[in-house]
Structure 1
Amino acid sequence: MKITHVEVHPIDVPAADPPFFWRQGLSGSAPVGDGAVLHIGTDEGAEGVAVFARPGAAVTLRDLVDRVFREELLGADPFQREWLWHRIWELDRIHELPLPALGLIDVALWDLAGRVQNRPVWQLLGGFRDAIPAYASTSTFATTDEFLSVADQCLELGYRGIKLHAWGDARKDAALCQALRDRVGPDIPLMYDGSAGFDLPDAIYLGHALAEADYLWYEEPMREFSISAYQRLASSVSVPLLVAETSDGAHMNSADFIKSGAATFGVRASTTLRGGITGAMRTAHLADAFRLRAEVHGSDIPNHHLCMAISNTTFYESLVTSTTVVRERHVDDRGLVHAPAGPGISLPLDFGYGNELQRFVEQPR
């Protein structure tokens, strides 16, 4: 079997309704956006797809396919995913590929393999579980009262934990985190994501507050350029750190976070930011060797498969962006997400996504 065509199909990304926001300094949800589907086909009719849903996705992906990817892929064996994964990293050396684009070919090839074998990808990866608890991962709301109301609704709907994306003000965020612990009691898992909003002194201040409130993990309080800064943070606070979400280098960079002692809870794994499914599984196995967690980032369908395949992950991340909470379609009333049943990644091949796109892709943050 040989790859005979590599195509890009633009798709519409519907605007969030209602719009939502992230911390001060970051943009909120886009009023309208474009997306793209990477489509890989073969001489024997086997096909695979991957969705790219970022600002300017269609233009960016078409340029990458025309200049870089197509020549590399045409004539290749689609089952040689490992070889092609290495080739993409070689190409990145010169072309400096956007981080979310590094794994698109890998995801499409895993999708193709699953369709050929008529099995979901999580089973091809070994299959560890067929259900996992979900936590509600908030966007940023205007007031503490709104956050607390959202948390109440999420727990009533069955979510098993709450993760905050707050304002990016260390003192206000610390007070919010402690108020949420007071609200939900001692037994609900709580997490906090700083979205890289702080320097080291503020990250330490907030970390002490999270430790006092018994948060399960403290995620990305600083940009992930300086592992030394994270090493100092880990030595200064007792709340466990979840690191290496947006840093370049996939499992290679995660290894340095672990070696430094900064990953006191674990590292992030995702198809979007860790080099596709192949890179995410490398990251998970690396973390497991050190008896750390590899928490799957994002609620898109490829990461849904990762949750079912990675033994050392704890939760599925379900994004909650409105003060009137509607439980994500994949989450049942017990707060569980069940394994996809369709072949491959379970994305449609006809590209007729329209308003259904939110079933398949996360909102970037």
Structure 2
Amino acid sequence: MTTRRSALKLGGAAVAAAVAVPALGSPASARSHGFDPKPGSNGVGDPLFPTLGNGGYQVVHYDLTFDFTPVTYDFTAAVRINARATQDLSAFNLDTDGHTIDSVTVDGRPATWELTPGQSGQEFTVTPARPLHHGRAFTAEVRYRGNGKAPRLGLSGWKFGADGGFASAAQSSRADTFLPCNDTPSDKATWTFHISAPRGYVAAANGELLHKTPRADGSAVWHFALRERMATELIGIAVVKGTYLYGTSHRGLPLRHIVPQGQEDKYGPIVARTADHLAWLEAKFGRYPFSVYGVHIYDGYTDALENQTLSLFSTNWFKPDANGRPGYETTMVHELVHQWFGDSVTPNDWQQAWLNEGPA
């Protein structure tokens, strides 16, 4: 896998080489030959998803603001993307699907943009007011809106429960149904989230809950930070009627879980098993790689998924088997193993998925 650090080193070497070339014409002519902006590619060449992700830049950080209305499933949102150009860029693409784009800026200047159909979603092409030099840090901000149940060109990552809320299950290529992004596991970034939830609901996201900002209508904005890099397919946002349950691992790692509202007595002992699961796996793999962990149990999902720092589980997993015995702990451990293999250590492309699933 080509790391961001190695890519930046290569970029620096390329710039140095360009500077060292003797000028064959005027200084202005030399400068024009040294800067040759072209559009970034509309895919990273993934063997299974050729148009997934985009070339020409690498993301450093996503900042997502998401204002969701339960029952109607309407939302308004904005994402600010801090990135670095890996070539001279005249335009670049983002992955998106099913959103109405209201505005786009690059480094605070209005940018032009175009939406066209893609193989698994939409191709969102952004043209900055000024081309970007190789190695330059830049910020793109997209304001958009939509509805969680709106038609999409590809599958949806939205999972809806009886409470009128939702949880995200984006693997492998459906993060773009929540936000415009570079939707490839080869481009990991840090994240911050600002998720609104009305009275009676809680918001969830990857990482640590920093604080809540109350609003006059009784709703609140929940602010989260994920300081370790994450692939887009592991996004774990939700707005649900749930209850947070807290604990610590045997080593003192903060644990926070979300269980269905009113069913705390049923699910409390189940999520409490996480501390023993962590102790058993840390003895095998070493210290847990992130700063927080937990499980989210939700009736709107029918499977189990290793969203980074907040694994998502269907309520169906916690029913007894035909002999009346619980079988859920193997699945809980499976998703926890993925925090090491798949989340912390991430495949470069989807043909390497066995490197996730094998250890788990």
Same fold (TM over 0.5): no
**Larger radius of gyration between Structure 1 and Structure 2:** 2
Structure number with the higher helix fraction is 1
Structure number with the higher strand fraction is 2
TM-score w.r.t. the length of structure 2 is: 0.24
